[in-house]
Structure 1
């Protein structure tokens, strides 16, 4: 029997599912539910910790004592990695896209508070050379006597994606407890690992639902290729022959706006309105864009009004604070 790799147990699981009654009513169907993966923890909150449970366990098994990873200057993944490293007595080195302007807010502030080492690089360096930069830093730390372990952006690789393989199993169990079935599962897509894990699990468990991603950067073609490559890597670890074609990877494009981390005025207004409607806080980088896209697609008639839709809240609340001046109260 196929077995998934071993993992740490540091996230608060299972996360609860609740219905967004007022939003469902306002959009006149479908029934919208939300899985609160923003409640996996505080310092380690969000979807990243599910993936880190597998990645960091592998690092520990290899005897590593430094976690090196990368992301944007307000990366939730980097903050979660720093928190996990500190919790386990490891060092962390974060390669961040941006500059050190002496103003620390949101996740960047927490990174410093958690004692992470930080290297800032330009957007061009990040796009073209982030892996080689991390490899050079790994060598530098090895020369100092450390044993580093590199975690890719978002922990979105073969080993990390098993976090959402398990999450799909968790959802299936909760469906039985709640006495309902989710026709669609919606997730923001920023590095592809969450979507890949859900899809792999759904296929292997032969569960009748559709996984739909809303990309928050790049485009549909980029993420179909990215998710497909992650799936191939995961399949080799899991030793399964399950075939998933790129045609089965469903991405709804069109809600990226001006780019990663850049939210339109309409999208920001939606985040404010939803907070007042449901007492639910979304972030402007991931969940705000995905939920905004979902609402727009529901209004367009993309989804059946009688369906049950599960939206996965992947966290990111700390990313709100650096953009607080953009909200018009």
Structure 2
């Protein structure tokens, strides 16, 4: 399978480390792929998706990127950084309030020179695409040609970033002499999971791809992933046939909701940081790793020998509330 052309932004391949003390504690082999180290301003999983999506934008002679997300969106910040690197414009539609603290990703969005439109949660849920289309039209009047990226760059072209990441993992298995039979990632918009799943299916490996949803529910994301798999095939020319039951989403770890932290989640992230020297984020990887550990304790992973967790980044998403939950 040949992937379309992509631009190179990320520092790849990202390394794989064993979580020695956590593995010993749980009696299983747990490894972590450090996609949080893809870069600095562009750190995390979003840049892998942007490498394909932004190439498509450039191929279409676009000089502006429009996208959306929460006010602490990692994807929006990565988009702003990529646009700045290329010398083109970025316009971010963010779910947030005018009096929101200028910190974390929101601060970096401003630092990187992105134009920003804040909208309400209701507007975001019901009208974000229409709002981005309006901005595209306004930019056209200014003489610009804009390219709209969906939330998380989770569409067919963006998901190819994690088809490529799965190829990378398979190469690293050979180098390390390890076969991962379970690969686990946080699921917030579906593109990372869909890309991993597609390439894993095409390569017909023995690995099971698991997602831990950080918002919505398993039924919602199973439908999202099925749609993305069809979109991916339009770019690769190879369609795969998957039943909804084949999509493995470990539900039950959303907690209070998207980007809302509970004390036990923060306590877990803090414990892992002290135990392994790895800092997760409270929005995505913290919930996902917490879910993985709980499922290991329940026996869900008893059939697996080597588990690989994808650290998708997000360290800039630590807001004041979450930081205050961290103990000594």
The residue aligned with 1:301 is 299
CA contact (8 A) 2:253 2:288 kept: yes
- How far apart are 1:247 and its partner, in Å? 1.7
* Root mean square deviation of aligned Cα: 1.0
**DSSP 3-state at the match of 1:217:** coil
Give the unaligned 5+ runs of structure 2: none
State the TM-score, normalizing by the size of structure 2.
Answer: 0.98
The residue aligned with 2:118 is 120
The residue aligned with 2:167 is 169
Instruction: Count matched residues.
Output: 327
Task: Check 1:143–1:13 CA distance in 2 against 1; reply closer, same or farther (3 A cut).
Answer: same
CA contact (8 A) 1:30 1:305 kept: no
1:208 counterpart (182, 206, 209): 206
Is structure 2 residue 153 aligned with structure 1 residue 155?
A: yes
**DSSP 3-state at the match of 2:80:** helix
- How far apart are 1:259 and its partner, in Å? 0.6
Give the unaligned 5+ runs of structure 1: none
The residue aligned with 1:310 is 308
CA contact (8 A) 2:165 2:196 kept: yes
- How far apart are 1:103 and its partner, in Å? 2.4
* Larger deviation, residues 170-179 vs 94-103: 94-103
CA distance in 1, matches of 2:21, 2:187: 25
- How far apart are 1:30 and its partner, in Å? 1.6
The residue aligned with 1:260 is 258
CA contact (8 A) 2:182 2:304 kept: no
Is structure 2 residue 8 aligned with structure 1 residue 9?
A: yes
2:131 counterpart (124, 130, 133): 133
- How far apart are 1:245 and its partner, in Å? 2.1
CA distance in 2, matches of 1:290, 1:104: 27
Task: Check 1:65–1:298 CA distance in 2 against 1; reply closer, same or farther (3 A cut).
Answer: same
CA distance in 2, matches of 1:22, 1:216: 25
State the TM-score, normalizing by the size of structure 1.
Answer: 0.98
What CA deviation, in whole Å up to 9, does each residue of 1:194-252 have, x standing for no partner?
00000000111112100000000000001001111111111122111321222211100
CA contact (8 A) 2:229 2:240 kept: no
**DSSP 3-state at the match of 2:92:** strand
- How far apart are 1:328 and its partner, in Å? 2.9
Task: Check 1:138–1:273 CA distance in 2 against 1; reply closer, same or farther (3 A cut).
Answer: same
**DSSP 3-state at the match of 2:157:** coil
